[in-house]
Amino acid sequence: MAVSRHTRRMNLIAHGVGLGFALFSVLPIVWLVITSFKTEAEIVTDTITFLPQSLQLQNYRDVWAQSNYPSLMWNSIVTTFYTVTICMVAGSLAAYSFSRNAFPLRRELMLFYLVVRMFPAVLIIIPLFLILRTVGLLDTRFGLSLAYASFLLPLFVWMMKGFFDAVPPDLERAARIDGCTRIGAMVRVVLPLVKGGLGACAVFVAIGAWNEYLFALMLTSSAGSRTWPVGLQMMVGEFQLPWGLLAASGVISILPVVALFAIVQRAMVRGLTVGAIKG
Amino acid sequence: MGVGVDSGRRPFTGGRLGRAIGAMSETRSWPFLLIVPSLLVILLVVLYPTLHGISLSFREMRLTRPDLGTGFVGLRHYVDLWHDDIFWRSLANTFKWVTLAVSLELAMGMISALALNREGPLMRICTVLVLLPWFLPNVVAANMWALMLDARLGVVNELLVRMGLIDSYVAWFATPTSGLLAAVFIEAWHGYPFFTLLILAGLKAIPKDLYQAASVDGAGSYQAFRNITLPMLRMIVVTAVILRVISLANSPELLLILTGGGPGDSTQVISLYAFKTAYESFDFGYAGALSVVTLLLLMVFCVIYLRVSRVLEK
Amino acid sequence: MNALAIRNIQKSFGALKVLNGIDLTLEEGGFLVLLGPSGCGKSTLLSIIAGLEDASAGSIEIGGREATGLHPRDRDIAMVFQSYALYPSMQVERNMGFGLEMRGAGVDERKEKVGAAADLLGIGALLERKPAQLSGGQRQRVAMGRAIVRKPRLFLLDEPLSNLDAKLRTKMRGEIKKLHQSLGASIVYVTHDQVEAMTLATKVAVMRGGTIEQIGAPMTIYREPDNLFVAGFIGAPPMNFVRGRIVEGGGFAPDGGGDRITMPAMEHRLEPGREIVLGVRPENLRPIPPGVSPEGLLRFNAVPDVIEPMGADTMVHFRVGQSELIARLDGQTEVSGSAPMELGCEASALHLFDATTEQRLRPA
């Protein structure tokens, strides 16, 4: 009986600890949301109130109407779209090839795709700045998305390879007997089976591109291509901080991330762990 | 021989382009053709820039001083670096920053994963919530915490005062030590879910009958943890630590937004110093040298770390 | 005309030779079984016939038409995989009709042909289901159905029964035999199970290490195995082997001591000192009543180690020299504990092999 009581107590402690970590992770975000509904006077006060007196939507209205936030978001959307497209097309093909074929140098190439993550961002940013300037893609959304591919594409390939590996190769052999070409077998038979994984990898890449700050800071400079993280940071002035506005724009910006993560979290968690464990 | 099923009908492949790609997919070089697009992108935006960056570190390249030209200067940047106090300080800070943050994240990730590794809807929901910070952008995480730790408006100060842990509000980012610790704390909040995620996956992969066998043999939960869980997790922990160290050492994002290196250079790490040298002074040659040093240190770290963890295994 | 003719097929992966020059023919309507242990190259050979892999050298003709280098689609074949390889995202009906679809057949034609095949296999009620909703046996039928829908020249079956449990396997084995007879199809069938080979084949090719050891009708291979490997691979329980040498006076001395055995008169020329392997199938041994000494029998003095009554048969394990032997006796035979008994085998059922070359010794 002692064992079962011990186990039950351990279980209780575990639930407590788990819940504690969940709160620790979420409460700061909750505070951000609360702040976004407060008036400036409520935020900048000597006596902190935990809940807003009333739900103030003024911050959101201001962000939307009186700043260039909508255009920042639009730039981010376009850049993210380009990045996801590059990764989906180039990355899926490469991942499929790595998963299915044993060709010379395959191991070395895959290792290379992994090692590139070791290169410091700054070491890549500087030459990229020069290259993009030379080819006229500096300060463009497409140029920025190419830069994002430098760290997101290798990740995408590794994650996606895990999903392709789970599809039995006999399916493509059967499809070839049934009359498909190799690419036909991939498109008609394999892709429908990795839809979930493809979606998860795409979301992962999308979040990475959506959130990125450093490359965007260096490689964009005009309102026509600046993304929201850079724009948000520019709101942080030297002295008086517009906390309410910052909070509201923060909430708006992480909303799509949280929503996408909630939708595909299961498949994404699987893909991430497979990619990371094998790497 | 008209018995065949084909009887002259062409296989359905969809359009002329489709047929062309289909025919291409039947050639021997197909596996390579599939890789070409991604390889082109990576060569273009990773390998070439990296090599270019390394070569820049041996050349003069200041966008603000075109009069200096872009000539070869040999090891001058590296010699300058040797005499640069800020470099040595940021090297020490990088070491502190990475060690503190990774140890804290590993500990938090391990504890949370062990706790969350149970059945039931409550723990499943908690797992999703625990992972959330990792997907939050640095810009939001940093500013959110800046507000919460604010010396005048911060809710953290308020809570600590109410709990009686501190007497009055503390300006966390005013002194070097508390500034670094506060930054490490925020980084840990942001990054520990990565460890939780991987360790949790590792825990789920351990066969349950190992524990049953151990408990039949009379092992307590601590012994089971030491003799089963830890050895089974070793590969994952080693991998996770390497990946995390690389990304912490390479990416100055959080510190750039949070402290900009202050107070008094206490959070000035090499990657941040390099970025500011490039972004604010446009001295690409010197920034390149700083980055090359980072890369070399990381490679040395990886080799030593892998060797040590392999020795420990035996 | 031959349904299949392959000449000198070779395959190597780098330095590793998987197939060393295979020659085979299969007549129209025949059932060829490629039999061998795993790693003998039989599945690789099937993949090469299908066009899923390229041979390093050699040529293939299917239905009298040169097929070397052709795409699998153009070879007029169908294949059933060990894993069934049903497309998980498609319903059974689309799975079965996919080959027709890829060849541009219309909806009506597909419906009609899939329906006919489904009726033949008794899976008409499953057409709307996804593969995940089927049992193992049903999946096997769908895989068969997908192959017969197109009425190809040649069927290729890669261990189609090995994922089924023993009972279902026996049942499906019978159905495949029936299908072969009713369709009059030509079939190449890969397996490592000699029972499947014996029961299904009109022709068996026993393979080992990328070479065909023997090819012929199942009963021919059973009665006259060309070498030790084939002799040991066909038949269950396997053939008994006793190593030893011929001694003066026509006797046989088993290695490792034991009683000298008197050889019956045989047409072989066996000079004294020659090292041979004696092969006796368990089912060819029968007890000799005490006091009788019939002519023309090879006789063993056996002390039973283990006796396994199985109902119809009784297995008796005994030793001769270093070798362990099994006799498969009629279930009615009285066998008791450790009482010595005499077991005999007709000279005509005796197999002799050269001990070094392991080849069958033929009468001079």
Q: Are residues A106 and A183 in the same domain?
A: yes
Q: Are residues A13 and A105 in the same domain?
A: no
Taken in order C328, C331, C336, C339, is the CA torsion positive or negative?
A: negative
What digits encode the pLDDT tens for the residues B55-68? 999 998 888 888 87
Rounded to the nearest 5 degrees, what angle is found at the Cα of B281, between the Cα atoms of B279 and B282? 65
In total, how many domains does chain A have? 2
Q: Nearest Cβ partner of C85 from A171, A179, A180?
A: A171
Rounded to the nearest 5 degrees, what angle is found at the Cα of C10, between the Cα atoms of C5 and C16? 155
What is the CATH code for B85-309? 1.10.3720.10
B206: buried, middle or exposed (CB in 10 Å: 19+, 13-18, 0-12)?
middle
Kindly provide the ipTM of the predicted complex, given to two decimals.
Answer: 0.88
- Position A57, amino acid: L
* β-strand partners of C287: C343
Q: Nearest Cβ partner of C102 from B3, B12, B26?
A: B12
What digits encode the pLDDT tens for the residues A123-168? 899 999 999 999 999 999 999 999 999 999 998 998 899 889 989 9
Average pLDDT along chain C: 91
Q: Output the six-digit token pair for B92.
A: 């020490």
For A179, nearest residue in chain C (alpha carbons) = C73
Q: Are residues A159 and A249 in the same domain?
A: yes
Q: Which chain C residues touch B24 with a CB distance below 8 Å? A: none
Q: Are residues A155 and A80 in the same domain?
A: yes
**Would you list the DSSP string of C216-233?**
E-HHHHHHS-SBHHHHHH
The predicted model gives A59-67 an average pLDDT of 85
CA distance A71 to A254: 16
* Buried b or exposed e, range B22-36, using 16+ CB within 10 angstroms: beebeeeebbbbbbe
CA distance A8 to B68: 73
CB of A174 within 8 Å of a chain C CB? The answer is yes
CA distance B246 to B249: 5
What is residue B10's predicted lDDT score, i.e. its pLDDT? 47
Which of A267-271, B224-228, B249-253, C153-157 has the weakest average pLDDT?
A267-271
CB of A27 within 8 Å of a chain B CB? The answer is no
Residue appearing with tokens 């060829």: C32
pLDDT band with cut points at 50, 70 and 90 for residue A3: low
The answer to the question of residue A44 being in a domain is no
Is C125 a residue whose pLDDT tops 70? Answer: yes
Please confirm whether the linkage preceding C237 is cis (ω < 30° from 0). Answer: yes
CB of A104 within 8 Å of a chain B CB? The answer is no
Which candidate in B5, B9, B12, B30 is best for mutational testing of the C interface (most C CBs within 10 A)? Answer: B5
* β-strand partners of C4: C26, C62
Determine, for residues B13 and A184 on separate chains, whether the beta-carbon distance falls below 8 Å. Answer: yes
What digits encode the pLDDT tens for the residues C234-269? 998 999 999 999 888 778 888 877 778 888 877 777
Q: Are residues A29 and A147 in the same domain?
A: no
For C149, nearest residue in chain B (alpha carbons) = B5
Q: Which chain A residues touch C83 with a CB distance below 8 Å? A: 168, 170
The answer to the question of residue A278 being in a domain is no
3-class SS string, C47-58? HHHHCCCCCCEE
What are phi and psi for residue B194, nearest 5 degrees?
A: -60, -45
Name the more confident of C136 and C250. Answer: C136
What is residue B154's predicted lDDT score, i.e. its pLDDT? 87
Q: How many CB atoms lie within 10 A of CB C99?
A: 25
For C98, nearest residue in chain B (alpha carbons) = B12
Residue C289 backbone class (left: φ over 0; alpha: ψ -120 to 50; beta: rest): beta
Q: Output the six-digit token pair for A98.
A: 């790595």
Which candidate in A170, A173, A178 is best for mutational testing of the C interface (most C CBs within 10 A)? Answer: A178
Name the more confident of C314 and C257. Answer: C314
What are phi and psi for residue B175, nearest 5 degrees?
A: -110, 150
What digits encode the pLDDT tens for the residues B176-193? 999 999 999 999 999 999
Q: Are residues A22 and A74 in the same domain?
A: no
Determine, for residues A176 and C88 on separate chains, whether the beta-carbon distance falls below 8 Å. Answer: no
- Give the C-alpha distances (Å, rounded to integers) separating B106 from B224, B252, C144: 20, 20, 53
pLDDT band with cut points at 50, 70 and 90 for residue A237: low
List subunits contacting chain C, requiring 3 or more Cβ pairs under 8 Å.
A, B
Determine, for residues B9 and C65 on separate chains, whether the beta-carbon distance falls below 8 Å. Answer: no
Determine, for residues C64 and B26 on separate chains, whether the beta-carbon distance falls below 8 Å. Answer: no
CA distance A31 to A268: 27
The residue range of the domain holding A119 is 68-272
**Would you list the DSSP string of A95-125?**
HHHHHH---TTHHHHHHHHHHGGGS-HHHHH
Determine, for residues B11 and A149 on separate chains, whether the beta-carbon distance falls below 8 Å. Answer: no
Determine, for residues A174 and C71 on separate chains, whether the beta-carbon distance falls below 8 Å. Answer: no
CA distance B46 to A146: 10
Q: Give the three-state DSSP class for C16.
A: strand
Percent of chain C with pLDDT strictly greater than 90: 70
The answer to the question of residue A59 being in a domain is no
Chain A closest CA to C354's CA: distance in Å? 43
Which candidate in A26, A43, A119, A190 is best for mutational testing of the B interface (most B CBs within 10 A)? Answer: A119
Q: pTM higher than 0.95, yes or no? A: no
Q: Which chain B residues touch C65 with a CB distance below 8 Å? A: 1
Determine, for residues A123 and B53 on separate chains, whether the beta-carbon distance falls below 8 Å. Answer: yes
Q: Are residues A11 and A81 in the same domain?
A: no
The predicted model gives C296-317 an average pLDDT of 89
What is residue C127's predicted lDDT score, i.e. its pLDDT? 94
Determine, for residues C98 and A193 on separate chains, whether the beta-carbon distance falls below 8 Å. Answer: no
CA distance C225 to C220: 8
Determine, for residues B189 and A213 on separate chains, whether the beta-carbon distance falls below 8 Å. Answer: no
For A273, nearest residue in chain B (alpha carbons) = B198
Chain B closest CA to A78's CA: distance in Å? 18
Is A84 a residue whose pLDDT tops 70? Answer: yes
The answer to the question of residue A47 being in a domain is no
What digits encode the pLDDT tens for the residues B290-309? 999 999 999 999 889 888 88
**Cβ-contact C152, A179 below 8 angstroms:** no
Residue C35 backbone class (left: φ over 0; alpha: ψ -120 to 50; beta: rest): beta
Q: Nearest Cβ partner of A25 from B35, B129, B253?
A: B129
Q: Nearest Cβ partner of C104 from B1, B3, B10?
A: B10
Is B13 a residue whose pLDDT tops 60? Answer: no
What is residue B201's predicted lDDT score, i.e. its pLDDT? 86
CA distance C234 to A190: 40
- Give the C-alpha distances (Å, rounded to integers) separating B242 from B57, B272, B298: 26, 20, 9
Residue B67 neighbours by CB under 8 Å, 6+ apart? none
What is residue A279's predicted lDDT score, i.e. its pLDDT? 39
Is B1 a residue whose pLDDT tops 50? Answer: no
What is residue C234's predicted lDDT score, i.e. its pLDDT? 93
Please confirm whether the linkage preceding B263 is cis (ω < 30° from 0). Answer: yes
B 50-79 near C (Cβ less than 8 A): none
The answer to the question of residue A103 being in a domain is yes
What are phi and psi for residue C171, nearest 5 degrees?
A: -65, -45
pLDDT band with cut points at 50, 70 and 90 for residue B256: very high
Q: Which chain B residues touch C153 with a CB distance below 8 Å? A: 3-4
For C69, nearest residue in chain B (alpha carbons) = B26
Q: Which chain B residues touch A261 with a CB distance below 8 Å? A: 131-132, 135
**Cβ-contact A148, A212 below 8 angstroms:** yes
**Cβ-contact C213, C206 below 8 angstroms:** yes
CA distance A156 to A133: 27
The two beta strands, C203-208 and C31-35, are parallel
Q: Which chain B residues touch C152 with a CB distance below 8 Å? A: 5
Chain A closest CA to B173's CA: distance in Å? 15
The answer to the question of residue A63 being in a domain is no
Which of B12-26, B261-275, C58-72, C203-217 has the weakest average pLDDT?
B12-26
CB of C64 within 8 Å of a chain B CB? The answer is yes
Is C112 a residue whose pLDDT tops 50? Answer: yes
Is C99 a residue whose pLDDT tops 50? Answer: yes
The answer to the question of residue A62 being in a domain is no
Which candidate in C44, C49, C79, C80 is best for mutational testing of the A interface (most A CBs within 10 A)? Answer: C79
- Which runs of E-coded beta strand occur in C201-312? 203-208, 211-216, 240-247, 251-254, 261-262, 275-280, 286-287, 297-302, 306-309
Domain range list for chain B: 15-55, 85-309
pLDDT band with cut points at 50, 70 and 90 for residue A266: confident
Is C61 a residue whose pLDDT tops 60? Answer: yes
The answer to the question of residue A155 being in a domain is yes
Is B169 a residue whose pLDDT tops 70? Answer: yes
Q: Are residues A114 and A179 in the same domain?
A: yes
